[in-house]
Structure 1
Amino acid sequence: MTVTADRRALLTGAAALAAGSVFGFRPGPALAQSGDLPAIQAAVAAGKDASTARIQDWIRNPSIAAENLNMPEGAEYMARLARDAGFSDVEIIPTDGHPGVFGVMDVGAPRWLAVYFMYDVKQFDPAEWSSPPLEAALVDKEGFGRVIVGRGAVNQKGPEGAFLAALHALRAAGKSPPVNLVLVCEGEEEIGSPHFRQVTTRPNVLAALKKCEGVFIPTGWQSPSTGAVTINLGAKGIIECELTASGAAWGRGPARDIHSSQKANVDSPAWRLVAALSSLVSPDGNTPAIEGWFEHVRDLTPRERELIAASAEANSEADAKRALGVQTWIDDLPWRQSLERLASQPTVNIEGLVAGYTGPGGKTVLPGSGTAKLDMRLVPNQTVDDCLAKLRAHLDAKGFPDVEVRFTGGYNPTATAEDSRIIRAQKAVYDRAGAPSTLYPRSAGSWPGCVFTDAPVGLPAGQFGLGHGSGAHAPNEYFVIDSTNPKVAGLDGATLGFVDFLYEMASIS
């Protein structure tokens, strides 16, 4: 039967309305006018159970780089996920550390887009969780609906699983993606990506990335109260390192743990570590005091201050405090000024501190050594190499030449222009979905975006995704599957959002 232009438009509009009933999703012109939407929408709905199960199974197969747990197996699992989603020429790429994964989906489209995945997750203590962290339990969460609880649920297997669901839905609908895709994955994001550049600079990977309009990591960051999403124009860099004070290196104190009664006449490496740590920051612990640390720090530009002010207006301070479990900001700063500080200030943070006995009860020992795990967030124009050198020089100058610094991972800050296609495409999709979006100068969290934005790759980079989850790096991490919150997309809405994003990237001028 011949379909008239008017009827075709009517059917397209009806499909758009139907899609709009799914968690606020509204297709863009490229998707709506393609005629692909009804079949894709049906495929998303039909594949939801399989997509949910895929995320759950992935959570049940963790790779933890910090513990060297299941790393080869995690790379194999990631490669299988890539092949199942339609990527070809999938390779497991060895590095000096844990392997990466690379694949290509060349459908003959005019444009190419790169996607970054991480397949590793953070460590966990099962005793802190309401359900086993590797069970990937589906539970009802008040105010959200049906969620998956498990390590990696939102960081990043839930959002990445939603993107894979989009590719499965396109294939099930008999459609090809509107852009060619390059998939680049790593297994060391949670330890500072120390070897990821070896993956992206491999000749065949670099050649594929050079074809791309940009690169993004799938996310699920919608605010539960407003549905809002922040579009980050960059991210802070990071240094992860360990500082160790020991009697052996110091030449004072015990070479091993001894009875604590000896503290009366034997020096303590643990107290030496505390003294070294105290020298790194101001007395309140809030400002780095390492000599030269602020030498290259760039102040916020007027445009960045403007973006932060708009973000403060659009986002809920109460929501932020509730999510973080805090009552005040540093120096009791007002909301906008706290966000300016968040975007602009480098940090020195103790993420872990271990010496001697830490089990139940007491054990009267004088520890022979102590170790602090630090992370240091970097802002433009700081670099990892410069800051590590300044850390070493500071400790030496303060009389701590024996305190060992072991660099375990990190990378420089990153930035992407707000007029790049990948940023404009994000905003267009968010706006249509009814997810208020604001531009923000840079995420206070870190991801190895500089590996893409810096030479030799040189791509705009960002994060994109509808949906919601929380608890990254914490107990009871979750990702929403069936949303009862009209402001937040569930798995189907997130999946359709990724489909629309691909069509937007294909068509945006």
Structure 2
Amino acid sequence: MTTTTDRRTILKGAALGAALAIPGAVLADADPALRRAVAAGHDAAIRRLRDWIALPTIAAEKRNIEEGCKYMMQLATDAGFEHVERVPTDGVPGVFATMDNGAKKTLALYFMYDVKQFDPAEWSSPPLEGKIVDRPGLGKVMIGRGATNQKGPEAVVLAALHAYKAAGRKPPVNLVLVAEGEEEIGSPHFPQIVRRPDILAALKPCVGAIIPSGWQNPVDGGVVVNLGAKGIVELELVASGEKWGRGPAKDLHSSNKAIVDSPAWHLVEALATLVSADGNTPVIDGWFDRVRPLTAREKALIADSAAKRDPAEAMRGMGIKHFVGDLSWPQVLEREAAMPTVNIEGLVAGYTGPGGKTILPSRAVAKLDLRLVPGQTKDDCVTKLKAHLARRGFGDIEVNVSGGYDPTETSESSTLIRAELASYARAGVKTSVYPRLSGSWPGFVFTSPPVSLPAGQFGFGHGNGAHAPDEYMLIDSSNPKVLGFDDATLGFIDFFAEVAAVG
């Protein structure tokens, strides 16, 4: 491995400008043996990812729970972790693994081995085949459930560790891996894994925790470095004639609507009290009481990020033509970082098949996710939601929480963030720093006591379609500004070196 002094000499050298013209160019020269090992291991790494995609663990369906855990353990063992252990919880088991490389610093890795549900009829390619297809403007991509969320980025890390083994090298940092199989239902039992005394003891010396990512902009290759993430509460609201004491105990012919109350309309009325008339701002009683406003530094970071990012590209990526309120781009990014949300994931009552069926449903269900910002906590928000509904005559509506966790925050000056920025700069990838990811991951378990570590996302490459049909990850890039699978693997190798080098 190139020494810290050598690497900094390269960074300061006169050839840097030319090298950075092609993202990843400097990474290619970091260690020829590792570069060769990554290239030689390409087919095996792609096969590993395809095989992993073929085994979906879906916590909500209790599908492949033990099989997924066993496979995650095997992946860790094959990658060189010496201690690999199944960790039982009150729900889906997790995995704990350690790799002692005799290094001065230790890095924590967070993996999830579960994925979201899928309907094969909605996909252009079978979701469990991991088929590689041409994608105009990108190159060759692998389509499959979990390709970008999260098996693909995690497979990049595994490929990096296999390359170290093949090259006869050791990573320059020690590694602690914690993995779970319930992230897609809100990680209800992940704290049980991390806070087990021996696992907590292994995590405490770490410089931080990373969830692998592959979020390079598909046009300019830029990356947003997030200093945190929103929290989340996943729940369902259930209105029923049985609990309400009004409406039918079982579905009735709809002609009875003239004289019988409707649980479905009861639920719709309750939902309407949770947000403003346009559906965009929560109005739950006390919802903003503990919200911490954006700091001056966060607003400055957002302004800088807005200047470096293209709103038109953002809209194209989401398939939309307008942002909320037709706000300006800087206002959009401020709102994205600062605004908690109340979202309806699904809304079901009565008959939803072909044609009509004239019934008065006895039960209606709304599935919600609530995104939380700093100052808010999962438990406080659930309490406020229940109280809000009760005050308005909706106390009969069941609030069934399936999972969730608090927001995260990590210092801009932490070793973890500085190593991320150094690795991106070394690869010639432009970055902007943003206060927090609008999505969620259970990083709060790392950033809050008793672990209290910096935590964030890191990775090169590109993928899209998480939770949606035709989810994909870039394998071979046709855009020189966006790294393909092998160069993304080299990027993680360089990141390990940067974590070891940053003081």
Same fold judged by TM-score > 0.5?
yes
Residue 147 of structure 1: how far off its partner (Å): 0.6
In the alignment, the residues of structure 1 paired with residue 160 and residue 130 of structure 2 have an alpha-carbon distance, to the nearest angstrom, of 21
Q: Aligned-pair distance for 1:262?
A: 1.3
Q: Deviations over 1:439-497 (max 9, x none)?
A: 10001000111100000111100110000000011111100000001111000110000
The match for 1:116 is: 110
Among residues 382, 387, 395, which one is paired with 1:388 in the alignment?
382
C-alpha change, 1:382 and 1:21, in structure 2 (3 Å) is closer
* Structure 1 pair 86–140 and aligned structure 2 pair: CA distance change class (3 A): same
Give the counterpart letter for 1:482 in structure 2. Answer: D
State the shift of 1:22 in Å: 8.3
Map of 1:3 onto structure 2: none
Show the counterpart of 1:197: 191
| Shift, 1:25, TM fit | 3.7
1:19–1:56 Cα change, 3 Å: farther
Distance 2:169 2:180 in 1: 28
Equivalence map 1:120-135=2 (5 Å): 120-135=114-129
Q: Partner letter of residue 108 of structure 1?
A: G
Q: How many residue pairs align between the two structures?
A: 493
Q: Secondary structure at the match of 1:153?
A: coil
Residues 21 and 428 of structure 2 are in contact (CA less than 8 Å); yes or no, is this contact kept in structure 1? no
1:286-337 Cα distance to aligned partner (Å, 9 max, x none): 1111110010011110100000001111011111000101111111101110
- Whether 1:237 aligns to 2:231 is yes
1:26 aligns with 2:51: no
Structure 2 residue 162 is the aligned partner of structure 1 residue 173? no
Q: CA deviation at 1:418?
A: 0.3
Residue 366 in structure 1 maps to residue 352 in structure 2? no
| Residue 432 (str. 1) matches residue 456 (str. 2) | no
Counterpart among 256, 274, 282 of residue 262 in structure 1: 256
Partner residue of 1:76? 70
CA distance in 1, matches of 2:19, 2:48: 23
Q: Residue 439 of structure 2 corresponds to which residue in structure 1?
A: 445
Residue from 155, 166, 176 that aligns with 1:161: 155
What SS is found at the alignment partner of 1:373? strand
Change (3 A) 1:296 1:209: same
Give me the TM-score of the superposition, normalised by structure 2.
0.95
**AA at the equivalent of 2:489:** T
In 2: Cα distance, 1:432 partner to 1:486 partner: 15
Gaps of 5+ in 1: 1-5
Query: CA separation in 2, counterparts of 1:144 and 1:76?
Result: 34
Report the CA distance shift for 1:63/1:315 in structure 2 as closer, same or farther (over 3 A): same
Spell out the pairing of 1:105-504 with structure 2 (5 A cutoff). Answer: 105-504=99-498
- Alpha-carbon distance in 2 for matches of 1:61, 1:22: 36
Deviation per residue, 1:116-173 (Å, 9 max, x gap)? 0011111111111111111111111111111100111000111100010000001000
Query: What corresponds to 1:65 in structure 2?
Result: 59
Q: Distance in 2 between matches of 1:120 and 1:339?
A: 30
Partners of 2:398 and 2:26 in 1: how far apart? 55
Q: CA deviation at 1:27?
A: 3.6
2:3 maps to what in 1? none
Shift of 1:19: 9.7
1:447 counterpart letter in structure 2: W
| Whole-Å separation in 2 of the counterparts to 1:19 and 1:139 | 30
CA distance in 1, matches of 2:247, 2:221: 56
Tell me how far apart the structure 1 counterparts of residues 23 and 45 of structure 2 sit (CA, whole Å): 17
Question: Secondary structure in 1 aligned to 2:214?
Answer: coil
Counterpart Cα distance in 2 of 1:353 and 1:156: 27
Distance apart, 1:20 and its partner CA:
7.9
Residue 33 (structure 2) aligns with? 39
**Partner amino acid, structure 2, of 1:193:** S
CA distance in structure 1 between the aligned counterparts of 2:25 and 2:449, rounded to whole angstroms? 37
Paired amino acid for 2:497? Y
Distance in 2 of aligned mates of 1:246 and 1:200: 38
CA distance in 2, matches of 1:166, 1:432: 17
Instruction: Please state whether the residue corresponding to 1:134 is helix, strand or coil.
Output: coil
Which 4+ residue blocks in structure 1 deviate beyond 3 angstroms?
Answer: 16-23
Q: What amino acid does structure 2 have at the position aligned with 1:484? A: S
Give the secondary structure class of the aligned counterpart of 1:371.
strand
Question: How far, CA to CA, are the matches of 2:349 and 2:51 in structure 1?
Answer: 37
Q: Would the alpha carbon gap of residues 17 and 279 (structure 1) be closer, same or farther in structure 2, given more than 3 Å must change?
A: closer
Change (3 A) 1:25 1:465: farther
Q: Is contact 1:215–1:462 with CA below 8 Å preserved after alignment?
A: yes
RMSD in angstroms over aligned alpha carbons? 1.9
Deviates more, 1:439-448 or 1:17-26: 17-26
- C-alpha change, 1:165 and 1:20, in structure 2 (3 Å) is farther
Letter in 1 for 2:419: A
* Amino acid corresponding to residue 461 of structure 1 in structure 2: A
Q: List runs of 5+ in structure 2 lacking aligned partners.
A: 1-5
Tell me if structure 2 keeps the 8 A contact 1:25–1:496. no
**Distance in 1 between the 2:21 and 2:298 partners?**
36
Give the conservation status (yes or no) of the 8 Å contact 1:25–1:497.
no
Secondary structure of residue in 1 paired with 2:161: helix
- Give identity over the alignment, percent: 63
Asked if 2 retains the 8 angstrom alpha-carbon contact of 1:23 and 1:490, the reply is no
- Partner Cα separation in structure 1 for residue 161 and residue 105 of structure 2: 17
Letter of the structure 2 residue corresponding to residue 78 of structure 1: M
Structure 1 residues 331, 19: closer, same or farther in 2, change over 3 A? Answer: closer
